[in-house]
Every structure is written in C-alpha cells, then in structure tokens.
Structure 1
Amino acid sequence: MPTRVYIQSEYFPDIKFVEVNDEATVAELKHAALALLPPGTEAFDLTLSVEDDDDDAHSHSIQVKHLKKEHGVRVHLHRCKQVEVKVCFGAEVVHHKFRPATTVGRVRLWAGEKLGMAPGDIAEHVLQIAGTTEQPDVDIHIGSLTKYSQCEVAFDLVPAHRING
C-alpha cells in the first residue's frame, strides 16, 4: 500500500511529497526524497529525520509504515544534524539544540515551558523570527528556516494577533 510522505528541506521553500510503499525502508525513502532536490545538489551529507522525533537516527532498515504518526509521515532532509535555537521573551533568553525536523509548534511549547509560562499563556503566543515580522506556521520544520553551515535560528516569543468581534 502506498504512503504519502511529506518532505521539508533547506533546499526548497514549500513542502513536497513522495509516495512510497509501506514496506519501503528508510533508506529507500531517503533515495526517493533525494530525487526531489534541485539538479546539481550534493546529497552525500544530507540527513533524513522524522518530524518531532527525538531519536538521533532511524535505522535505514526500518520500514516506512513504522514511521506513521497521527498526521502521516513527515520528514526533513538537511545537512545540519542539529539546529541551535534561541528564543527571546522580554529580557529572558533560552537556548536549545533541536533536530531539523522539529516543528515550530514544538519549539514554542518547549520555550514556553522553559520560561515558566502556563499552558494557556503559551497558546496565546507565537514564535516570530528575530528582527522580522515573519511568524512561521506551527507545522514548519525549523530546518526550513536555516541553511548549512549556519545551523541556527533566533526567535522572539510574541503575543498572537487577536481578532475581536
């Protein structure tokens, strides 16, 4: 049975997808994902990581069907193995290294907890790329916001826009 796998990468601005068989291995999935890269991209140092997964690496022999989560299979293809994230909230600053497939939503929850915010207060804030007005969606991978060799991104934690009425 085919499975649609959503892929984000430092190499393309939009989410792309491939369809692979449930029985396909992670190595076969990576091969299919590499085919989406722009021509001339050197792919020997790219790492495939699973969205919001804390494992350092999945065995290349694991089957795609074992990667399925509530929203399907979502992966990230990046040269950085980890992304240094800095979140500023007023005068407070927290730092942590995340895998490129970590979502902006997960980083927001982590930052709010580290800053001692209540869950309801975290929900009323968004991450905004420092020095800009850009507020990436919660399902964007942080690896999409940085390129190798920078491997870092800085955010401000700001109140979400409220629509009254």
Structure 2
Amino acid sequence: MQSIDIFIQSEHSPDIRAGVAEPVQNLAGLLAKFEPPIVLQDGQFIFLEDLAAPLEPDAIVEELLPMCPDEQGMASALRLHISRCRLVEVSVRFNAEEAKRRFAPGATIARVHHWAARRAFNLSPRDAAEHVLQIRGTNARPDRDVHVGTLTDGKTCTVAFDLVPRKRVEG
C-alpha cells in the first residue's frame, strides 16, 4: 500500500499541518516524524475528523482509513485533530433563539452548520445553504473544513456562533 496523506489541526491553531505516513505506522510514531515533532502533552487526545471518540496513540494508520471514507468510499488521507477537550460545547444563535450541543473537537464547521441550520433551527435546505456560521462578536466565518476545536482557546472547551446570511448587504 502507498503512503497516506495526513492533515492535522489542533486546539487554538488555525494552521493545518500536512505530512505523509506509512500504512503500518502507529499514530505516536507518525506524530514524532513531523518537523518539529508533535508531542502529545498530558491530557491531550487524538481525534479522527467528525468522529466522537478519541483514538489511542498506538492505533495503526491503515486501520483508521475505513473510518473516514471520501466521496468515492475510499479514504486517501487521514484528517486528525489534537485537543485537550474531549467535547466542545457549541452554541449557535439565530433569530433571537439559541441552541447548544456538544461536538468532538474534530467536528468540522460543515457538520456544526448542518446540525444548527437543519436540525436546531429547522431551515429548509435552500435557506440553510444561504446561511453560514460566524464566530459571535466577530466578522470571522470559518471555512467548512475547519475543526471546531481549533476555535477554542485551549482553556475552555466552548465556541459561540451566530447563524447569519451568507451575503452581506451593505447600503
């Protein structure tokens, strides 16, 4: 089997670190091969994108691939998240209502958006597509592939958003 692309996001860091792993490598060995090496601090966990349970550092890369299929059903890369938070408390405000839910730190903004727009606020697919998540109190609108755990401050495991129209009308 060929090498596998690895993409890592972590708490309170907008940068994505990219690397390559051998299929038989375990996660601890993979992290150590980054430059500079990624060393798990006491209390940090490794998550697979959009999955709730943390992974063990001795998990083998190729054994994780079936857990993260792409559009064609075959994973070509692993997208990991490193965080002290086991769960991130997410609150979303829309039309004077607020909804809260916990997500794994590796949950993507796309996943959080889907929950908020379609489930929490019952928007139609068309209306949901016309709204985005904006970090409360800012103009920042994270991309769909950003992990919600990157938006935490590393001390508290919370993030607050507003669900706002995609297009800004300025007059």
For this structure pair, what is the TM-score category when the shorter chain's length is used for normalisation?
Answer: 0.7 to 0.9
1:76 partnered with 2:81:
yes
1:66 partnered with 2:63:
yes
Q: Equivalences for 1:58-137 in 2 at 5 Å?
A: 58-68=55-65, 69-70=69-70, 72-112=77-117, 113-137=119-143
- Taking structure 1 as the reference length, the TM-score comes to 0.85
The residue matched to 1:43 in structure 2 has which SS?
coil
Q: Matched residues, percent identical?
A: 36
Pairing partner for 2:54 from 43, 53, 57: 57
- The one-letter amino acid paired with 2:50 is D
In structure 2, C-alpha distance between the alignment counterparts of 1:107 and 1:9, rounded to whole Å: 17
Q: Equivalences for 1:134-149 in 2 at 5 Å?
A: 134-149=140-155
1:67 Cα deviation after fit: 2.6
Over residues 64-118 of structure 1, what are the superposed CA-to-partner deviations in whole Å (9 max), with x where a residue is unaligned?
A: 1233331621010111111100000011110011111000110000011211111
- The one-letter amino acid paired with 2:158 is E
Over residues 111-136 of structure 1, what are the superposed CA-to-partner deviations in whole Å (9 max), with x where a residue is unaligned?
A: 11211111221111100000111000
The answer for unaligned runs of 5 or more in structure 2 is: 71-75
In structure 2, C-alpha distance between the alignment counterparts of 1:31 and 1:65, rounded to whole Å: 17
- The one-letter amino acid paired with 1:4 is D
Deviates more, 1:65-74 or 1:100-109: 65-74
The answer for unaligned runs of 5 or more in structure 1 is: none
Q: What CA RMSD, in Å, does the superposition of the two structures yield over aligned residues?
A: 2.3
- Taking structure 2 as the reference length, the TM-score comes to 0.82
Deviates more, 1:148-157 or 1:6-15: 6-15
- The one-letter amino acid paired with 1:131 is G
Aligned length: 159
4+ long deviations beyond 6 Å: none
1:11 Cα deviation after fit: 5.4
